[in-house]
Structure 1
Amino acid sequence: MKDNLTVSGFVATTPRHLTTAEGVSITSFRLASNRRKFDRDKKTWIDAGTNWYSVSTYRDLASNVIGSVRKGDRVLVIGRLRMSEWGDGDRRGVNIDLDADALGHDLRWGTTSFSRTIRSESVESDDPGDPADESDATEGAEADSGTPLDVAAPF
């Protein structure tokens, strides 16, 4: 069973990026998700609290997040929830961590531009319909340059 959670919120801290000794890229940030409810007496929407999450991304997703996401951006995060209790003297609490499988800008709040990332290492796939297997998938772009390919450009 895979427990996935989708959270909409804003990036509350500047994303931090590091690479482990094993070469694994990790990018993390704090995500604030504001709950809203309709106040029938005032006939307006009001804030009903904020849930805070520590979001971690790994490998290619981490590299793309550090190049795309900034503090204050509205995002959608899909990932696995991990909760851990902590205690420090009289203080106790629960950390809520979200290991992201997918992450993107929330287009309800603005626009974004997508650029496909071309990786220098070869990508193998078992799917014969996968564009990574087609020789013309990177036509007109330097496949080993690491520069993004503008997929929105006309053919």
Structure 2
Amino acid sequence: MNETMVCAVGNVATQPVYRELAAGPSARFRLAVTARYWDREKNVWTDGHTNFFTVWANRQLATNAAASLGVGDPVIVQGRLKVRTDVREGQSWTSADIDAVAIGHDLARGTSAFRRGNAKGETAVAGSPQQPEPVWETPAGESADDTADTESQQQPEVAAVT
């Protein structure tokens, strides 16, 4: 109940690693979050310190993240912050992990095409849509009015459900 929830905006730093475990699918990747600030003296935006987080995703989120994310993609990650300190070989180190609840592309920095997974919970494979794409172009030699008339004649009748 008293967990530290964070929202981190950054770039995918490593290719997601996907694993099928006994408890279900799991994926992890590194997230680079760089602070930016306005340098008044130079009159430009300047990059500050970069923090790196290991993002962990489980179950369907892991499957979708592995299929959707690539190195350099701008993303927004929401989840539970877990900070761990350990001593290995006499040296102390600290890691900051995010147990992700939601991951998405940052649409302020680009576009994305969403594909809903099928009923079995599987992610649609890129390049093979579940339904054929309709033809949007008007064939050469036909006007838009001719195409609209033809399309209205080809529409199937829909029976009313009562």
What is the CA–CA distance in structure 2 between the aligned matches of 1:40 and 1:92, rounded to whole Å?
38
1:149 shift after superposition? 5.2
Q: Given residue 7 of structure 1, which amino acid in structure 2 is its aligned partner?
A: A
Give 2:117's aligned residue.
117
Give 1:36's aligned residue.
36
Alignment of 1:21 with 2:29, yes or no, is no
Alignment of 1:104 with 2:96, yes or no, is no
2:116–2:123 Cα contact (<8 Å) kept: no
Q: 1:146 to 1:43 in 2, by over 3 A?
A: closer
Moved more, 89-98 or 108-117: 89-98
Give 2:6's aligned residue.
5
What is the CA–CA distance in structure 2 between the aligned matches of 1:28 and 1:19, rounded to whole Å?
12
Identical aligned residues as a percent: 35
What is the CA–CA distance in structure 2 between the aligned matches of 1:60 and 1:29, rounded to whole Å?
16
TM-score (norm 1): 0.75
SS of the residue 1:62 aligns to: helix
What is the CA–CA distance in structure 2 between the aligned matches of 1:75 and 1:32, rounded to whole Å?
10
Q: Given residue 116 of structure 2, which amino acid in structure 1 is its aligned partner?
A: R
1:77–1:104 Cα contact (<8 Å) kept: yes
1:47 shift after superposition? 1.2
1:63 shift after superposition? 0.5
Give 1:60's aligned residue.
60
Moved more, 104-113 or 2-11: 2-11
In structure 2, the gaps of 5 or more residues are 135-162
Q: Given residue 16 of structure 2, which amino acid in structure 1 is its aligned partner?
A: P
SS of the residue 1:113 aligns to: coil
Give 1:139's aligned residue.
none
Structure whose alpha-carbon radius of gyration is higher:
2
Q: 1:38 to 1:146 in 2, by over 3 A?
A: closer
1:3 shift after superposition? 2.6
Q: 1:146 to 1:115 in 2, by over 3 A?
A: closer
TM-score (norm 2): 0.72
What is the CA–CA distance in structure 2 between the aligned matches of 1:9 and 1:146, rounded to whole Å?
24
State the Cα deviation string for residues 99-133 of structure 1 (Å, max 9, x = none).
00000000111100001101327xxxxxxxxxxxx
